Amino acid sequence: MARLPSHSHGLRVGLFGGSFNPPHRGHVHASELALKRVGLDRVWWLVSPGNPLKETAALPPLAERIAAARALVRDPRIIVSGLEAEIGTRYTHDTLAYLRRRCPGVRFVWIMGADILGQLHRWQRWREIAELVPFAIIDRPGRTSPTLGTPAAHWLAGYRIPEEEAALLPEIEPPAFVFLHGPRVDLSSTRLRQAGHTAPES
């Protein structure tokens, strides 16, 4: 059986998935914003073995990306995990279904940038993902307004809660989501790779 980060009944845990290639300050910022505004107790970074929607031939080894993420993180509430490789899941729906079975008393929230919401309709079983966990969506420079016109945003529109009620999100039965606005960190792993940065970017 897979080893999960420490958890207990009633804990409010944010799940932040991605390749983290490389991890950077924007990932930390999104996690810290969700911890504060949604009232989370922990954020688990789920470092993916490989995104099914992306080319992975040049992806650095999982252990290398996990080590880089752990080197970047300073807040003990942010836990870096290679859980998906350990349990053998490739798709977010399967990972969430596993966690819901293993941790029935934990209040999970899925954290994503506004740019990811714009791609969500391409994810396998994305509507079922939205029915498994509420979403905390982090504003990204130049991404929020265009994202609101995408298929997943249209489908979710009736489930948005006011930002001032963000702390209620973990207790709300999904589908539910909140947009979180705050100081922006205009970094992306893609641009950092294109610029030749492969180490953690602080």
HSE of 98, CA atoms in CB hemisphere, 13 A:
17
Mean pLDDT computed over 63-70: 97
Mean pLDDT computed over 118-122: 93
Q: What pLDDT is recorded for position 24? A: 94
Whole-structure pTM value: 0.89
Average pLDDT value for the chain: 89
Could you read off the pLDDT of 160-181 as tens digits, one per residue? 999 999 999 999 999 999 999 9
Q: 147 pLDDT exceeds 60?
A: yes
Q: Which fold has domain 22-183?
A: Rossmann fold (3.40.50)
Q: What pLDDT is recorded for position 140? A: 76
Q: What pLDDT is recorded for position 19? A: 94
Angle between helix 25-37 and helix 62-72 axes, rounded to 10 deg: 60
Q: What pLDDT is recorded for position 144? A: 63
The Cα–Cα gap between 69 and 125 comes to 28
Sequence ranges of the domains in the chain: 22-183
Q: What pLDDT is recorded for position 146? A: 64
Q: How confident is the model at residue 16 (pLDDT cuts 50, 70, 90)?
A: very high
Residue among 77, 3, 17 nearest 47 (CA): 17
Q: What pLDDT is recorded for position 50? A: 83
Q: 82 pLDDT exceeds 60?
A: yes
More confident residue, 55 or 33: 33
Q: 187 pLDDT exceeds 60?
A: no
Q: 198 pLDDT exceeds 80?
A: no
Q: How confident is the model at residue 3 (pLDDT cuts 50, 70, 90)?
A: confident
Q: Do 160 and 177 contact (CB within 8 A), yes or no?
A: yes
The Cα–Cα gap between 164 and 145 comes to 19
